[in-house]
Amino acid sequence: MRFALLLSLLLLPSVARAADAPPPADAAASDGRRADAKARYEQGAAAYASGRFKDAVDLFLEADALAPSAPLSFNIARAYEKLGDDSGALRWYRDYLRRAPEAANAKDVQAAVDNLENRLAKKGLQQLTVMSTPASATVTVDDRPVGVTPWTGDLLPGKHRVGLSLRGYSDQSLDVELAGHRSRDVSVTLAAESATPAVAVAPAAGTTAPANTPPPRDEPSKEKSGLGIWPWVTLGVGGAALGGALVFELLRSGSESDAKAENTQIAYQEKLDQMESQKTTARILAGVGGALVITGGVLLAIDLGSSPSKGNASLAITPTPGGAFAFATGRY
């Protein structure tokens, strides 16, 4: 894609041109995505040229999400440098070197990485990047959820416990030693969970398997009654909502800590906005979950206290602005 190879020509006079990087691996992307990526790049270039570096970062990130390329990583890093965000600049310079390790300006970029690592070390922090195959695995650091792969964050130097989990794959956990003066990449290949095959049981020798044998006449079939599985479903959904509330509360606490650690007002505000969003989500889930757990418990008590001879019951659940309202009708 030609526009991706022109990015550094406009923005990056102080570092060797990124146009020598290999072409982006998105040739099969649709024309619509390429056009959207080009439009965002051009808007980002204009924002950079006018000194609106935060807008430039956002637009370059959007372009990279649509059409990933090494030059975009380079320009994102440069915009972060202009903002005085050492952590953001270090993250994206390192990403550039991963995407284009043989680029003509690789030595200059590595020197910039070394300098930013030293500046981060003076703050008592260092940067860790966790990647996985496949991507989008949930990452925990010291039992605290921090994001999904590929994930990059600044941590205190020393030993950390890193965990990864992804539906359909076995959980992975490893100890990572983070040096005080050097950032580190961790890459993990997740193993797919093995499916347990169903085992068919053959009848014993000399016998034949019964075919749809009806129950004996003197044993009438049991009649189903009551609320059935609805109390259990309600309890399960309520428990899941409470679990989600706990996860978002943990994320909110992490965002609050990250906000306090930020050195720029822009980055601090971003973390603060993220924290408020997570707090709101946690409260909503907690309210809905609590209401459903209470409702499920009441329904279960009613169901267990009823007998089949008293008739059937029905359950209705109505969503409300504050959560959910459930009621049961019938004879108990």
User: Distance between CA 268 and CA 279 in Å, rounded?
Assistant: 16
What is the percentage of the chain residues whose pLDDT exceeds 90? 48
User: Distance between CA 224 and CA 218 in Å, rounded?
Assistant: 18
What is the percentage of the chain residues whose pLDDT exceeds 70? 72
138-141 vs 158-166, strand pairing mode: antiparallel
Confidence at residue 286, expressed as pLDDT on a 0 to 100 scale: 82
User: Does 257 have pLDDT greater than 90?
Assistant: no
pLDDT-derived band at 102 (thresholds 50, 70, 90) equals very high
User: Does 22 have pLDDT greater than 90?
Assistant: no
The arithmetic mean of pLDDT across residues 215-229, rounded, is 54
Query: 216 in helix, strand or coil?
Result: coil
Q: What is the pLDDT of residues 26-76, one digit of tens each?
A: 454 478 888 999 999 999 999 999 999 999 999 999 999 999 999 999 999
User: Distance between CA 129 and CA 125 in Å, rounded?
Assistant: 13
Contact between residue 98 and residue 186 where contact means Cβ atoms under 8 Å apart: no
Would you give the DSSP letter of residue 150? S
Burial of residue 231 (number of CB atoms within 10 Å: 0-12, 13-18, 19+): buried
Cα 326–Cα 329–Cα 332 angle in degrees, nearest 5? 120
Confidence at residue 18, expressed as pLDDT on a 0 to 100 scale: 35
Q: How far is CA 79 from CA 17, 61, 213, in A?
A: 15, 11, 75
**What is the per-residue DSSP string for 92-117?**
HHHHHHHH-TT-TTHHHHHHHHHHHH
pLDDT-derived band at 233 (thresholds 50, 70, 90) equals confident
Q: Is the pTM of this model over 0.85?
A: no
Confidence at residue 23, expressed as pLDDT on a 0 to 100 scale: 41
Confidence at residue 40, expressed as pLDDT on a 0 to 100 scale: 95
Contact between residue 49 and residue 60 where contact means Cβ atoms under 8 Å apart: no
Q: How distant is the alpha carbon of residue 282 from its chain centre?
A: 16
Q: Could you tell me the two tokens for 26? A: 């998105």
Residue 126's CB is within 10 A of a number of other CB atoms, namely 21
User: Does 317 have pLDDT greater than 80?
Assistant: no
pLDDT-derived band at 219 (thresholds 50, 70, 90) equals very low
pLDDT-derived band at 6 (thresholds 50, 70, 90) equals very low
Confidence at residue 293, expressed as pLDDT on a 0 to 100 scale: 78
Q: What is the pLDDT of residues 318-330, one digit of tens each?
A: 555 445 555 555 5
CA atoms within 13 A on the CB side of 211: 1
The arithmetic mean of pLDDT across residues 206-228, rounded, is 52
The average confidence (pLDDT) of the chain is: 79
User: Does 199 have pLDDT greater than 60?
Assistant: no
User: Which helix (H) or strand (E) is 166 found in, with range?
Assistant: strand 158-166
Confidence at residue 309, expressed as pLDDT on a 0 to 100 scale: 45
Would you give the DSSP letter of residue 196? -
Q: What is the pLDDT of residues 82-92, one digit of tens each?
A: 999 999 999 99
User: Distance between CA 287 and CA 276 in Å, rounded?
Assistant: 17
Contact between residue 131 and residue 185 where contact means Cβ atoms under 8 Å apart: yes
Contact between residue 171 and residue 165 where contact means Cβ atoms under 8 Å apart: yes
313-320 vs 323-330, strand pairing mode: antiparallel
Q: Could you tell me the two tokens for 216? A: 């004996």
138-141 β-sheet, strand order: 144-148, 138-141, 158-166, 169-178
pLDDT-derived band at 5 (thresholds 50, 70, 90) equals very low
Confidence at residue 330, expressed as pLDDT on a 0 to 100 scale: 53
Q: How distant is the alpha carbon of residue 238 from its chain centre?
A: 22
User: Distance between CA 125 and CA 324 in Å, rounded?
Assistant: 45
Q: What is the pLDDT of residues 125-181, one digit of tens each?
A: 999 999 999 999 999 999 999 999 999 999 999 999 999 999 999 999 999 999 999
The arithmetic mean of pLDDT across residues 275-280, rounded, is 83
Cα 174–Cα 175–Cα 181 angle in degrees, nearest 5? 130
Confidence at residue 21, expressed as pLDDT on a 0 to 100 scale: 36
Query: 55 in helix, strand or coil?
Result: helix
User: Which helix (H) or strand (E) is 286 found in, with range?
Assistant: helix 265-305
State the amino acid at position 169 in one-letter form: Y
